[in-house]
Structure 1
Amino acid sequence: MKNTLILYAFCLVFCFGFQSNIAQKTKQKKTKYDVAAFYWPAYHPDSRFKDIGVFPDGKGEWEAIYKAKPKFVGHEVPKVPLWGYEDESDPVVMAKKIKKAVKHGVNVMIFDWYWYDNKPFLEETLNKGFLKAKNSTDMRFYLMWANHDHGSYLDPANPDKSKIYWRGGVSREIFEGMIDHIINDYFKKPNYYKINGEPVISIYELSTFMKGIGGAEKAKEALDYFTKKTIEAGFPGLHLQAILWGNIPKGLKDVPGDKVQTQSATVEYFGFKSMTNYQWCHIVKPTGEYTLWGEKAIKKWDEWDTTFKIPYCPQVSIGWDCNPRYPVENKSLVVNTKPEYFKTFLQKAKEYVDKHPNQPRLITINAWNEWAEGSYLEPDEKHGYDNLKAVKSVFIDGK
């Protein structure tokens, strides 16, 4: 009897270990690529919307989506979310998003993160929704400091988009307080996204950061301080990621020696370790057919590969149509966006990463939920889950 029990116990241990190895290998297969979707956290009743007099319905930017009207014959608005107009600061709602995202191969969220007048904006999505979701640790996240000026672009009733509500630049004193918050309240979370153990943070507008803090030298000193504080918090370093578009200066005139004359030299000077894009509209004017727009955008990848010394992480956009934010027609849009076309560009991004084995295996997507800009992975009534299925097909199923 004793021998039988020992044999039974051995079988249990062996079988459990064998199954665990299978599960581990399966998990490794699914996480071979880090597929990160940008997240626009404006679909909840943030109190600061009242400060600027927008979205009185109390549902955040959902109001711009369900009130959107077609601007021309054949204009496909309003976009209708399959899940309805949910409050993303609700952890139950966010738990569903996390579950669906991970199931389809989106294993990282990049939260657009704001700091105006020395306090946060739209942070409740992350704090109350994502981080309090019961399955939050199933998914990693990191921040893109969206440090642009914020203005009437957000107001769908105002045709004048030049009005500024909040300035994106910060002083050194505000910057230091801001990064203490970032390090203590986000970097230290177990599921904060890291590369080589270093927490990753993107900066959307380098030029705005430089201007606000007093020039290139002071901006570098501030970023060096950020790295120092991150190391003091127990990390091996800080992984700064540049959002690459026209906001990165080609020349830094206030740097001694005047040696920084290219965008590549600029990002090296500040200590950035990788770069990606936020949206193809920053690279190629969004007009005409989606596929032609995308082909023009990804031609830049090889160019950046040779002109920059730091690695480029490929980015794919799903579409572009910002008309829900305008009371009159805005002709800046692309047409004929289809999940199968989106899938083609995902495959190209995967191929790019495969050809660069010594860089982070990171692909970024615009976006999880840029509904007001026509670029979203969340399911809608027209395509259902097809955009998410495209991600799964490429990065999990390998098709």
Structure 2
Amino acid sequence: MKRYAIFFPQFHQVKVNDLAWGHGFTDWALVAAANAFNNWIRRAPACGFYDLSKVDDIRDRLETAAAAGLDGFGIYHYRFDDGPELDAVERYLRQFPTPAGFNYFFIWANEDWSKRWVDNDTKILKSMPTELSREQVADHVAYLKPFMESEAYTKLANKPMFVIYRPDWFKDTATVVNLYRQEFERTGLNVSIGFFAKNTLDAEYSKLFDFCYIFEPRMFFNFQGLRKNVTLIGIYSRLLKLMPRERGEWLSEHINRFSRKRSNKFSFADFLSYFKSNERQQFIRSIDCPVQNILTAGWNNTPRYRQYFTQVDVPSAEQFSSMLNWSLGDRQYSEDIPLLCNAWNEWSEGAAIEPCAYLGDVLLKNYLESAEENPLV
């Protein structure tokens, strides 16, 4: 089975971040501050803080991953009404080849941008529409087409993969997905459209899509406490859709702050127990399309959320192997869909398997080691 990792293209300067956070801001500012003030167990890339507006830095990331044995990246893709954002890596991919045998696909991160995750400011910085016209979809498809026609773009049964991060974002998800299918077909593309499942309610979208990724550790977090109450979450989700966007951001942020402790910490043993649980397996069986896992190598979003952080401990080699073997050995998961790890370089969430200045390359090696064929014990 192919092994990919989610790639985080944030690490370069853009105007919207300059205006919101100060000139030259990137996520490295958050990581550096957390390291400087010892707010967490330090993490940073072994190669130093890179700039993904530079051709050499992008090439180095691709070559490092390919040389280690990774098969490709699932790259977060940001597209709003006024066009793409944080798109330096995409511009690179339009001009330069990837390393031989190294592929990629896009994960459309279709949600608003705000400052809520740092300073409780819920003003919308970039707005993502909840309804799309055919013209908007056609413009997006025209942008995607050259990538999808590239030999390096990942295909499922000769169909380019395209993943929608939040199917719940749209007022009428079925209409939006159908518009994309029609516009892809009109341009001569037969695309396999998938989605990320982040809570149990997302299973309802599986009839609309060709495949599904179970997004960990977000699904794990949503199996905790009140978040696993399907009725309550359903009411809350419908309420948010009825509200003005900034009011919904405000409500969501304040409920999150009220409902959690100063911080939430989980051991990786906690995660493994959930990952192998009958409850999670039952949820997987409720999905009506082929399914694949997104694995986690730990999580700590202290750089973003400071004292309100959520943490999953970094796994030991044995724990990582147990998670990997369980996933590869469970026949509920499609062997045709690349396995994903969250993430190659999401440093500001403490979720990176890219070689680290403090942890070395142990997490990357753990992910790429061969797994046993009969792990379900």
Q: What band does the TM-score fall into relative to the shorter chain? A: 0.7 to 0.9
Q: Tell me by how many angstroms 1:175 deviates.
A: 2.6
- The equivalent position to 2:183 in structure 1, one of 229, 240, 265, is 229
Contact 1:91-1:132 at 8 Å conserved across structures: no
The residue aligned with 1:165 is 125
Q: Within 5 A, what are the aligned runs for 1:1-399? A: 33-54=1-22, 56=23, 58=24, 60-69=26-35, 75-77=40-42, 79-128=43-92, 130-133=93-96, 135-153=98-116, 156=118, 158=119, 160=120, 162-169=122-129, 170-172=131-133, 173-183=135-145, 185-208=146-169, 210-211=170-171, 216=172, 219-235=173-189, 237-246=190-199, 263-264=203-204, 266-268=205-207, 270=208, 272-284=209-221, 285=224, 287-299=265-277, 302-326=281-305, 328-352=306-330, 355-356=331-332, 359-394=335-370
Gapped runs of 5+ residues in structure 1?
1-32, 250-262
One-letter code aligned to 2:5: A
TM-score norm. by structure 1 comes to: 0.74
Contact 1:70-1:76 at 8 Å conserved across structures: no
Report how many residues are paired: 331
Distance 2:11 2:357 in 1: 18
Distance 1:379 1:153 in 2: 30
Percent identity, please. 16
Q: Secondary structure at the match of 2:218?
A: helix
The residue aligned with 2:255 is none
Q: Secondary structure at the match of 2:312?
A: coil
> Which has the larger Rg?
1
Contact 1:149-1:166 at 8 Å conserved across structures: yes
The CA deviation string for residues 40-95 of structure 1, in whole angstroms up to 9 with x for no partner, is 111112233113234x3x2621111112158888x313x12210011123232222
Relative to its length, the structure with more strand (as a share) is: 2
Q: Secondary structure at the match of 2:265?
A: coil
One-letter code aligned to 1:387: L
Q: Tell me by how many angstroms 1:273 deviates.
A: 1.0
Distance 1:70 1:94 in 2: 26
Distance 1:291 1:69 in 2: 26
Distance 1:369 1:186 in 2: 22
Contact 1:105-1:395 at 8 Å conserved across structures: no
User: Which gives a bigger RCO, structure 1 or 2 (Cα 8 Å, sep 6+)?
Assistant: 2
Gapped runs of 5+ residues in structure 2?
225-263
Contact 1:240-1:273 at 8 Å conserved across structures: yes
Cα distance change of structure 1 residues 161 and 390 upon mapping to structure 2, 3 Å threshold: farther
Q: Secondary structure at the match of 1:52?
A: helix
Q: Tell me by how many angstroms 1:329 deviates.
A: 0.9
The CA deviation string for residues 86-130 of structure 1, in whole angstroms up to 9 with x for no partner, is 1123232222222222233321211111112322111112222x4
Q: Which 10-residue stretch deviates more, 292-301 or 106-115?
A: 292-301
Q: Secondary structure at the match of 2:122?
A: coil
Contact 1:311-1:359 at 8 Å conserved across structures: no
Distance 2:62 2:309 in 1: 34
